[in-house]
Amino acid sequence: MKLFQLHYFCTACLYRNITRAAEALHVSQPSVSLAIHALEKEFGMPLLDRDARGFALTPDGEFLYREGRSLLDRSDTLAETMAERKRLGAAVLRFGATPMAGAGITQKLYRSLGEGGNLSVHLIEGGRPRLLQMIDEGLLDFALMPVDCLPGDEYGAVELFSNEVVLCVHSSSPLAKLNELSSPEELIDTPLALFDDKFYFTGLVQEYFRRQGIAPQIVCYAAQIFTVLEFVSGGAAAAFLCRGLARSRPEIVELPLREPMALKSGFVWKKSNARAPELEREIRRLAAELGAARDKR
């Protein structure tokens, strides 16, 4: 498989049209078709269901598109990083953050990392599994993420804070009159917006329902906090978020949970990284600095 073939395939999937994909790629239509045919021949399976109106993705095609998009994103990040290394030598620091762990402190962290020196700082956002994979592959130096139950013992970690998880509902919801959410049973008829299942936080919420043998009514899976908040602000769904993330939206009410749930977050790095001692010193400095800033509030 060639990277350009995957790029052509994913672009066709994005537009759901070979002609529009060719226009976006500035190549001929046959070039896109041939690339897709080559992938189908190599893998020995159809990726598209073709008809007179266009095409739909087969289940194998859906899988390749999802995984291929992730691979192309990482290749773009790697290319940008290598270009930056050429421009600045080795003065590049690459860190990642999950949306929930990084909410509210990513800008402070970014400023602190870039202070005083010719240092280029690259930020990547994503779910914990993806960030751990990028740390493993050397594409990230460290990341801010949930530190509970890290796989294996190959990672170093410094816990930074623990945030209470609350249920966010629109002020017009009957749930808004409660003092707390006593049980997930109270949400049986409530539409919920969740982060998609590549996020560790979503696993915490799903386990909260599984313990009671309840299947939640999910109307939206999202990758961004803003999207989840929009669903709650519009009254379309409730959502589990860390306390304080909805403070700028007066129409949203935060309900504590009788069964407490918290997200422990911190910095994670690879112990075998050649720069591990240097990284750990920098990470502990950042943790102390950010902890002191939180204590002052």
* Residue-wise DSSP of 111-173: HHHHSSSS-EEEEEE--HHHHHHHHHTTS-SEEEEE-TT-SSS-EEEEEEEEEEEEEEEETTS
One domain, residues 106 and 64: no
For residue 273, give the 3-state DSSP assignment: coil
One domain, residues 62 and 84: no
Last residue of a domain, one of 25, 53, 70: 70
What's the confidence (pLDDT) of residue 121? 65
What's the confidence (pLDDT) of residue 293? 47
What's the confidence (pLDDT) of residue 233? 93
What's the confidence (pLDDT) of residue 43? 92
What's the confidence (pLDDT) of residue 175? 94
Q: How do residues 112-148 score in pLDDT, each as one tens digit? A: 665 544 555 677 888 888 899 989 988 888 888 888 8
What's the confidence (pLDDT) of residue 174? 93
Say how many domains are in the chain. Answer: 3
What CATH number does residue 95 fall under? 3.40.190.10
One domain, residues 108 and 62: no
One domain, residues 181 and 238: yes
Which residue in 30, 28, 35 sits closest to 6, CA to CA? Answer: 35
What's the confidence (pLDDT) of residue 116? 47
One domain, residues 147 and 170: no
One domain, residues 99 and 82: yes
One domain, residues 62 and 188: no
One domain, residues 201 and 229: yes
φ, ψ at 102 (rounded to 5°): -85, -10
What CATH number does residue 253 fall under? 3.40.190.290
What's the confidence (pLDDT) of residue 164? 92
One domain, residues 91 and 229: no
Q: What is the rounded CA–CA span in Å between residue 145 and residue 268?
A: 7
Q: What is the rounded CA–CA span in Å between residue 43 and residue 47?
A: 9
Last residue of a domain, one of 21, 52, 70: 70
Q: What is the rounded CA–CA span in Å between residue 233 and residue 169?
A: 8
One domain, residues 60 and 98: no
Q: Does the predicted model carry a pTM greater than 0.85? A: no
Q: How do residues 146-159 score in pLDDT, each as one tens digit? A: 888 888 789 999 88
pLDDT < 50: residue spans in the chain: 88, 90, 116-117, 293, 296-297
Match 């402070």 to its residue by tokens: 108
What's the confidence (pLDDT) of residue 114? 54
Last residue of a domain, one of 70, 96, 125: 70
Q: Domain range for residue 258?
A: 163-262
